[in-house]
Amino acid sequence: MELDEHGLNPGPVRVSTAAGILLIFSHSSVTGLYVARREELVLKRLRTGEVSDPVILAGGASLYVTIAVVQIVVVAAVLSVMFGAAPRQPLSAAAGLLTGVALMTAMAAATAALCRTVESVLVATLPAVFVLPMISGICIPREVLPDAVGDALLFAPLSPTVDLVRSGWTGELTAGGVLTRGAPAILWTALFAWTASRSFRWEPRT
């Protein structure tokens, strides 16, 4: 893709692509963790205590989320040096990272509800692995697509995260623009969290 022809800087594009891919991998890992801990009855035992359900799920995901965030920071630093693209709007990048982590964790909980065994996690997470990168501006920037298609993909689950992270290096979004782009990510996160709250299983199916 000729990124220059579409007014895109390869450095920020690669940073946002790396962030999106690593977040998707964390989704697969957290989904597997939830299912494995459920089958081992760990989640059921934790639930007998005083800790709330969201805290149990967030605590379980914390290790994988931390690893993903560290990887994103390291890769972003390396790419910034390689392409000479210093961050111009760090708060936008931080907002993108925060929305991405929350979205992927909520999606992992909702996906785990579909999985009967650990082996089924691979199949259940395939749409996230193969579809999300294609529709969220991770593998194909929306700017290179026809306008109608690009506008429609603005509302794909990870698109706001990708845009916010990229804006951290390009500075293309204003403060109001950051809030506007973050809104769809918040709505997707709420939808997956609501789905998980209604369908998440805390013990193995009999």
**What does each of the 206 residues of the chain score in pLDDT, given as a tens digit?**
666 666 778 888 999 999 999 999 999 999 999 999 999 999 999 988 888 999 999 998 999 999 999 999 999 999 999 988 889 999 999 999 999 999 999 999 999 999 989 999 999 999 899 999 999 989 888 888 888 998 999 999 999 999 999 999 998 888 899 999 999 999 999 999 999 999 999 988 76
How many residues appear in the chain? 206
Categorise residue 124: left if φ over 0, alpha if ψ from -120 to 50, beta otherwise.
Answer: alpha
Amino acid (one-letter) located at 166: R
Instruction: Give the phi and the psi of residue 142 in degrees, each rounded to 5.
Output: -65, -25
In eight-state DSSP terms, residue 51 is: S
For the record, the structure tokens of 9 come out as 């800087």
How far apart CA 97 and CA 75 sit, in angstroms, is 13
How far apart CA 108 and CA 42 sit, in angstroms, is 17
Q: Would you call 179 helix, strand, or coil by DSSP?
A: helix
Query: Whole-structure pTM over 0.85, yes or no?
Result: yes
